[in-house]
Amino acid sequence: MASRKFKIISSILIGLVLLLGVCWYLFRNSEKIYSAGEIPLPQQIIAYSQKNPDWAEDNLGESGYTMADSGCLVTCLCCAMSMQNIMQITPKELNRLLSEQHGYDTEGNLQWEILEKLTETEVIFDNADISALLYDGIYPVVRVRMYGIGSFHYVLIVGSQDDTYVCIDPLQEENVLVSLGNYGNRIYAVRWLNHSYEVKYGGIMDESVLRNITQSGQ
């Protein structure tokens, strides 16, 4: 009898250790974030969906990935650039430009320096005060996990209600906002756009590229 109890207790302890290990693996290099109060949403919200049929089946460069299944980052960036008055451009056009200018690797991963040169922006990689960015009219892209524990995904933070940030999720229908609480209020990385290309690169983008962007429907 005692031996059976020991085996049961041992199994429970092993299970708890394994569970803790899985949680550590899933949540490593992450932090939970909350807003100190309500931050007004933008007067004009531009929330594209990566599943929009106009571009859902477009490939990311020469990779086998499409906008519908892997275009969340590019879609978030289009929303941010539009609302920050950097550039009015749709996910279809930004993806086309990135594809033409070798803006993806063979796995469909975005090449940030190409994006910066195409859009005359500087991408900031740091854990800045998100509330401060929002008050300055800057909308950060954050990496989350689907349902808090699933695969990585990108959403765009645009404001907050009470102590919870509000996001554009490209997997949702267009102009639909969701709570960061849907992802456990936990983020794994922050990216935001600063319109200071000249400071970083000391010049203006190639005129042919600029003309291509202008003709794309701005």
pLDDT digits (tens, 9 = 90+) for 20-67: 444 444 444 679 999 988 999 998 999 999 999 999 999 999 999 999
Residue-range domain boundaries for the chain: 32-215
User: CATH fold of 32-215, please?
Assistant: Cathepsin B; Chain A (3.90.70)
Quick: pLDDT tens for 157-199.
999 998 899 999 999 988 889 999 999 999 999 999 987 644 4
Give tens-digit pLDDT for 119-132: 888 999 877 799 99
Closest CA to 60 of 31, 102, 22: 102
Does the pTM exceed 0.85?
no
Rounded CA-CA distance 28/188 in Å is 8
